A and B are shown apart, each in its own frame.
Chain A
């Protein structure tokens, strides 16, 4: 049962253009969402997050949008840079749960072409 889904295994964009990574979830109890970035042979590193009480959160070049009715979130990277090339994971958690563990999607490999 895949509660967090990233349906695009890969995405290629030109340097300077916008990258849009998508994520869908099925569990309506999720109320906190995060994006992680992962390079090969390294652990995931936190990028940006959003609470369910918001529909947008910005941090520099990164913006996350949340559409609760559609159970969909997206990560926008503008402008994209070659150093952004990595695997991006969407994750979700349910506040108030005993563990607040994160449930991850399968990831999207972003390649930013110079």
Chain B
């Protein structure tokens, strides 16, 4: 068990560019979450997958954001036409299969800086 893995750890991009982040959850976890954290704030929920199905999206997730989990394993989060306000740490988390309530295991995050 290597934990939740996120790639890249850091991403610097220019405004208007597209970026894509990858998350590999703990292998036996079928529930996957994306969160965003900005300075001085707690993690804010973005979206949730159960297996390959995206079951909830936050209002924070504008049309420029899209997330996928095509085979129910790894997930990608894409931001199109990035804006400076997208600068944040993007966190992925997973929860073990069958756990109705319980802790989330977080990855180390991807720190995005939009110049």
Which residues from chain A sit less than 8 Å from chain B, CB to CB?
4, 6, 9, 31-32, 34, 36, 41-46, 49, 51, 89, 91, 93, 95-96, 98-107
Contact = CB atoms under 8 A, between A and B. Distances in A.
A43 B42 CA distance: 11
Interface residues of B, number: 27
Interface string B1-33: 000101000000000000000000000000101
A104 B42 contact: yes
B56 A98 contact: yes
Nearest to B99: A100
23 contacts: A4-B42, A6-B42, A9-B40, A31-B101, A32-B101, A32-B102, A34-B103, A36-B106, A41-B111, A43-B4, A43-B108, A44-B91, A46-B104, A46-B105, A93-B101, A95-B100, A95-B101, A96-B100, A99-B56, A101-B33, A104-B42, A106-B40, A107-B42
B56 A100 contact: no
Contacts of A43: 4, 6, 91, 93, 106-109
A22 B40 CA distance: 17
A101 B43 contact: no
Nearest to A100: B101
B56 A101 contact: yes
A96 B44 CA distance: 20
